[in-house]
Amino acid sequence: MGEQEPQINPDIEALAQKKAGEIKVGKKKEPSSAEAMEGQGEKERLPWTAEEKQNIVSLAEQAAQAKAVGNEDEVDRIMLQMEALVLAKEEAEKVEARVAIETAEKLVGTENFLGPKEALEYAGYDFKGKIPEIPFSEEVLKDAEKNGKMLVLYPELSIEDMLDKIQSKMPKGEKFIYEDSLKWLKGDPLFEERMESHWALVSKEVTEGTTNKNYLEQTEVIADLLVKQYQGKAMPKEYTDAIAEFDKLKKDTPSLTEMVKSSTDAEWKKAAELLANLNLNQLTRETPAETLYRISSYYLKNKERLLSSTYSWSSRRDASGRLVLVGGFVSGGAVVSRGRPGGSVDYLGVSFSRSL
């Protein structure tokens, strides 16, 4: 006999319905009279896999346990995860046409768009027709400009790869990267780390609410931003899993806040490692190479500097374990610096990046 699939019992299904609405497993929804008249009744929904059912069962049981001990905050958090799973399933049933590059550029505004043309012109990178599909809907792209975001296609280049090319495009007397930053970068593995080719919607400047916060506090803001952005919508599973991983880290490491603020090398370095390695930060923070490519290409295209007086904390650590930040982009070049995770100043935030 094959392995029996987990079943969603009525009590657990009812709990899921509190936030997520009906869960239908391979069944048809009865159309309303208006839908029936127009022939628009809902089609048969995709069957839930055993893993998907088990995820719902597990979350519902966790919520029931939290409710039994009166932990309503935990119940709400778990129900948001459950809602995201159900909505993501519904979203998977829709077949949406991909947005063309030309359409995307018009929607976000030419000045807020860095695509294959810009990669070739400023960094000398030719995608040779192998351009990733844009993962965002027209609705999301329309909102990008008014929310201070730009759409970027990152080329598979390292800081080393693009250094001479971008420097050659800079106005006479201006620098791509600050000289002192280059000195340490050239001896660090980050100098040779290549970007992964993908599209992202990125905050042009540091995201509101992320300054005057240490790296851990910034990560809390990022998690909250994702929850707000996807409220009532399907949050990609990668994000729900990443938030759950972050919650687990905080629960399993009660001394994390103290470690972040510690002046003891072993403690703050461990905190920096734990936080930088979180999928939440890997998914929503740029690498140093990505930020350098974005702000320099934007400047060459628009003659306007981003991050000229602020810095964005990246998803990377240098060879010594310090977290890397990029900004201060003036005529002398962009500064690439390092710091402990406990740093908290008014000019250091994070440019929130979304690629899903």
- pLDDT tens figures, 195-253: 999 999 999 999 999 999 999 999 999 999 999 988 888 889 999 999 999 999 999 99
Is 277 within a domain? no
Phi-psi region of 9 (alpha: psi -120 to 50; beta: other; left: phi over 0): beta
Whether residues 69 and 126 share a domain: the answer is no
Q: Which residue has the higher pLDDT, 273 or 137?
A: 273
Task: List the single range of 88-97, 250-259, 267-276, 327-336 with lowest mean pLDDT.
Answer: 88-97
Which domain range does residue 38 map to?
10-92
Is 35 within a domain? yes
Residue range 263-287: average pLDDT?
Answer: 98
Is 255 within a domain? no
Domain boundary among 64, 92, 120: 92
Is 244 within a domain? no
The C-alpha atoms of residue 169 and residue 166 are separated, in whole angstroms, by 5
Residue 133 has pLDDT above 90, yes or no: yes
Is 268 within a domain? no
Count Cβ atoms within 10 A of the Cβ of residue 58 and give its class: 0-12 exposed, 13-18 middle, 19 or more buried. Answer: middle
Q: Which residue has the higher pLDDT, 47 or 39?
A: 47
Whether residues 174 and 65 share a domain: the answer is no
Tokens (6 digits) for 129: 């027709």
Whether residues 112 and 203 share a domain: the answer is yes
pLDDT for the residue 214: 98
Count Cβ atoms within 10 A of the Cβ of residue 46 and give its class: 0-12 exposed, 13-18 middle, 19 or more buried. Answer: middle
Whether residues 83 and 34 share a domain: the answer is yes
pLDDT band for position 91 (cuts 50, 70, 90): low
The C-alpha atoms of residue 290 and residue 307 are separated, in whole angstroms, by 13
Answer positive or negative: Cα dihedral of 145, 147, 151, 157: positive
pLDDT for the residue 270: 98
pLDDT for the residue 50: 82
Whether residues 86 and 108 share a domain: the answer is no
- Which of 294, 281, 276 is closest to 149 using CA atoms? 294
Residue type, 136: F
Domain boundary among 37, 57, 92: 92
Sheet order of strands, 149-154 included: 113-114, 149-154, 198-203, 353-354
Residue range 168-194: average pLDDT?
Answer: 97
- Which of 63, 50, 48 is closest to 16 using CA atoms? 63
Phi, psi of 56 (to 5 degrees): -65, -45
- The residue count of the chain comes to 356
Based on the structure, what is the number of domains in the chain?
Answer: 2
Percent of the chain with pLDDT over 90: 67
Task: List the single range of 77-81, 170-174, 214-218, 291-295 with lowest mean pLDDT.
Answer: 77-81
Is 36 within a domain? yes
Whether residues 293 and 162 share a domain: the answer is yes
Strand partners, 334: 177
Q: Which residue has the higher pLDDT, 91 or 8?
A: 91
Whether residues 36 and 145 share a domain: the answer is no
Is 235 within a domain? no
Whether residues 175 and 294 share a domain: the answer is yes
Domain boundary among 48, 65, 92: 92
Whether residues 74 and 118 share a domain: the answer is no
Are the CB atoms for 90 and 129 separated by under 8 Å?
A: no
pLDDT for the residue 240: 95
Whether residues 165 and 290 share a domain: the answer is yes
Whether residues 190 and 119 share a domain: the answer is yes
Whether residues 86 and 113 share a domain: the answer is no
Is 222 within a domain? no
pLDDT for the residue 20: 46
Are the CB atoms for 205 and 148 separated by under 8 Å?
A: yes
Q: What is the model's pTM?
A: 0.75
